[in-house]
């Protein structure tokens, strides 16, 4: 092959006249499209204009995916309208140029292909997707408060139809290789062993792409207004324009400007330099920092997990670990207690996995173990029984006696201190907390709890395990409620105090939904259970704090929330939560939201001051990913700092 090399690209032409453009960003583990990378791509196209190949195939030189997207660090430097427009025009013009070349082009997509990476692939004539679990495609810019301005809003609707395209762009969801083929995003979906030959055949055949069906062309043309109107209504159910303007901008740029953001410069500046985009980019970097806690030097990778306690939390932890590829043994006092967890897992897996053989493989990794034999072989053992100190003492002592000395011994306690739990252990320093949140399959944060004098290597291994199962590890010190429950307690307490004063639960929840919370605090109490709220309140607020009257009355009446069908809301009748609160949106007293959020803000700051969590950024990340605190604010302490600015 004849080869030309730049800092980040290599161009080789094979004996059949096909040019292979290999992207391998120097000094990085993943490919991203920085200004320098894009300039080099322009130089490559200059060379190919002079000497056109029979075809051009883009591929990645990284083990970790195709292209992760634009270089997000560059977003933090967009401090003028001109810089924002220059960034958009850079990608828009370059990818338009790529789309117009005279020779066939193909993106060979293996691994993640996101944002600007997918926009580059869409500018190619063909897209070949490699069929393996790591291959994911999407335009997740909306998650950063921005839009896919390098051609995604033009070409994705043309390729797959506007409804499917808007669904991807407005939610940020990603799709796998097989789904990409079914919906027309990928031209072919092939296994890794034949990917390069398949790419060459597709380029050499140079077959015209199939035209979209007539209905898709109509919806992307004369009927755009209907699609746009429907999309706005769907977005309005999930996001307020004052909090999240980007999805509304995506609809408008597609519907009114043909996907070309440069035709709406004021809209571009209003999005790119908005406080929402600034805060969501900040949240992205905080998320990357959390992932960093799970990185190891390669000396620890869990293969076998043992979970004790097959209740909702324990069973769902076990199910999630099995889904992520680990072999899991699940222990409880008998098969009759383990069976419901297995049934829940099968139902949950069935919603995610269509292939019956794959479903069977996952279920085979989730092994009922009433005798607890799996503890001796496990790399991580998680205690998830009920919150009783004596019961946990007895269990932890038994587990330590049979476990491998290098294995992680963890508790999922949410209210007991590690210092109290570890007193029965021969090696107390090995105990760590690995605190999941409910529902395990949806909540991304896991608190990794260390006690005073704990073994730091065990905490590192616990964080590595959390990252291994695709969760975000947050290091916290042992204290009542750790971080997340400790800040939620005062928040829910203040909400129930307001109910005691005569404010309706619906109005309380409406105030916080308007603030930007995903769920109101009263509905949250119903979700976690009024019995849990009573117990947690004593642990976090102190036994001398009088519980709210509205909580005590319902608790004494046996109305424990959603699990009993009735709490603050009547869940059996369906008149609960967001639906009920929205009807009260116009009745929210001025200042109610600020009153309700104040205890949460103060408690978060207090926990940073006390060193329970290391710094304000980690506290913000923990509260966002652990409670759903309005991400557009950048987190509670960022909100507190910038309030009124």
Catalytic positions: 119, 141
Q: Is 300 helix (H, G, I), strand (E, B) or coil?
A: coil
CB 211 within 8 Å of CB 171:
no
Q: How many CB atoms lie within 10 A of CB 562?
A: 19
Residue 425 and residue 396 in contact, taking contact as beta carbons nearer than 8 Å: yes
Nearest CA to 378 out of 349, 347, 409 is that of: 409
Between the two ends of the chain, the Cα-to-Cα distance in Å is 59
Percentage helix, strand, coil for the chain under 3-state DSSP, each rounded to 5:
55, 15, 35
Q: How far is CA 505 from CA 260, 502, 636, in A?
A: 45, 9, 23
Please, are residues 397 and 421 in contact by the beta-carbon 8 Å criterion?
Answer: no
Phi and psi torsions of 541, nearest 5°: -85, -20
Cα distance between residue 164 and residue 376, in whole Å? 49
**Distance between CA 240 and CA 237 in Å, rounded?**
8
C-alpha torsion sign, points 579, 582, 584, 590: positive
What would you report as the CA-atom Rg of the chain, rounded to the nearest whole angstrom?
A: 27
Is the distance from CB of 367 to CB of 329 less than 8 angstroms?
A: yes
What CA–CA distance (Å, rounded) separates 372 from 389?
20
Identify the H or E element spanning 14: none
CA neighbor of 484 nearest in space, from 394, 572, 586, 603? 603
Euclidean distance between CA atoms 146 and 133, whole angstroms: 27
Runs of H (alpha helix) within 324-470: 335-352, 356-365, 389-402, 418-421, 456-468
Q: Give me the torsion for CA of 456, 440, 304, 424, rounded to 10°.
A: 50
What b-and-e string marks burial along 457-479, b requiring 16 or more CB atoms within 10 Å of the CB?
ebbbbbbbbbbbbebbbbbbbbb
The C-alpha angle 51, 52, 53, rounded to 5 degrees, equals 115
How many CB atoms are located within 10 Å of the residue 520 CB? 28
Distance, in Å, from the CA atom of 410 to the CA atom of 441, rounded to the nearest integer, reads: 19
Q: Alpha helix locations (H) across 51-184?
A: 81-99, 116-123, 152-160, 162-171, 177-183
Interatomic CA distance for residues 629 and 48, integer angstroms: 50
Residue 506 CB partners (closer than 8 Å, separation 6+): 580, 581, 583, 584
Q: Which of 446, 445, 444 is nearest to 432 (CA)?
A: 446
Distance CA 165, CA 168 (A): 5
């Amino acid at each position: 092959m004849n080869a030309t090399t730049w800092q980040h690209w290599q161009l080789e032409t094979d004996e059949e006249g096909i040019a292979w453009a290999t992207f391998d960003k120097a000094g990085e583990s993943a490919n991203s499209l920085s200004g320098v990378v894009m300039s080099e791509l322009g130089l490559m196209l200059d060379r190919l204009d002079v000497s056109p190949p029979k075809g051009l195939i883009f591929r990645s030189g990284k083990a970790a995916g195709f292209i992760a997207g634009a270089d997000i660090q560059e977003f933090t430097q967009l401090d003028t309208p001109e810089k924002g427009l220059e960034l958009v025009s850079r990608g828009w013009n370059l990818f338009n140029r790529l789309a117009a070349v005279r020779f066939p082009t193909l993106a060979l997509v293996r691994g993640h292909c996101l944002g600007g990476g997918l926009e580059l692939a869409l500018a190619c004539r063909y897209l070949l997707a490699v069929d393996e679990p790591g291959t994911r495609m999407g335009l997740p810019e909306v998650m950063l408060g921005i839009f896919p301005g390098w051609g995604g809003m033009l070409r994705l609707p043309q390729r797959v139809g506007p409804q499917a395209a808007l669904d991807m762009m407005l939610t940020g969801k990603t799709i796998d290789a097989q789904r990409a083929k079914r919906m027309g995003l990928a031209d072919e979906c092939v296994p890794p062993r034949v990917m390069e030959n398949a790419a060459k055949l597709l380029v050499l055949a140079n077959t015209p792409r199939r035209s979209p069906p007539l209905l898709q062309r109509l919806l992307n043309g004369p009927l755009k207004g209907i699609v746009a109107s429907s999309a706005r209504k769907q977005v309005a159910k999930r996001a307020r324009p004052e909090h999240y303007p980007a999805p509304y901008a995506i609809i408008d740029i597609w519907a009114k400007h043909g996907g070309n953001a440069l035709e709406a410069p004021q809209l571009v500046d209003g999005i790119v330099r908005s406080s929402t985009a600034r805060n969501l980019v900040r949240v992205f970097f905080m998320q990357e920092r959390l992932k960093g806690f799970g990185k190891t030097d390669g000396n620890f990778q869990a293969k076998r997990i043992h979970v004790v306690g097959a209740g909702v939390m324990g069973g769902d932890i076990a199910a999630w670990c099995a889904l992520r590829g680990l072999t899991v043994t699940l222990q409880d006092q008998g098969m009759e207690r383990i069976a419901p967890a297995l049934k829940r897992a099968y139902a949950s897996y069935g919603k995610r996995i269509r292939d019956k053989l794959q479903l069977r493989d996952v279920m085979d990794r989730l092994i009922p173990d009433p005798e607890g034999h799996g503890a001796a072989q496990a790399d991580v053992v998680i205690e998830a029984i009920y919150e009783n100190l004596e019961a946990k003492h007895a269990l932890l002592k038994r587990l330590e006696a049979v476990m491998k000395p290098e294995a992680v011994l963890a508790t999922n306690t949410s209210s007991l201190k590690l210092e109290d739990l570890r007193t029965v252990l021969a090696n107390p320093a090995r105990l760590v907390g690995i605190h999941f949140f409910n529902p395990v399959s949806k909540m991304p944060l896991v608190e990794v709890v260390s006690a005073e004098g704990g073994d730091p290597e065990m905490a590192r291994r616990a964080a590595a395990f959390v990252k291994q199962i695709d969760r975000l590890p947050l290091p916290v010190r042992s204290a009542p409620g750790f971080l997340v429950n400790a800040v939620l307690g005062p928040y829910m307490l203040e909400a129930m105090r307001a109910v005691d004063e005569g404010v309706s639960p619906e109005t309380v929840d409406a105030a916080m939904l308007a603030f930007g919370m995903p769920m109101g605090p009263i509905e949250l109490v119903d979700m976690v259970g009024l019995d849990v709220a009573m117990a947690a309140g004593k642990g976090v607020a102190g036994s001398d704090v009088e519980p709210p009257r509205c909580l005590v009355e319902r608790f004494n009446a046996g109305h424990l929330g959603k699990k009993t069908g009735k709490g603050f809301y009547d869940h059996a009748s369906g008149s609960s939560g967001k639906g009920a609160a929205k009807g009260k949106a116009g009745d929210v007293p001025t200042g109610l939201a600020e009153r309700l959020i104040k205890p949460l803000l103060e408690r978060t700051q207090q926990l940073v001051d006390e060193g329970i969590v290391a710094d304000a950024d980690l506290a913000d990340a923990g509260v966002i990913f652990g409670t759903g605190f309005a991400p557009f604010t950048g987190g509670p302490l960022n909100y507190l700092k910038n309030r009124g600015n």
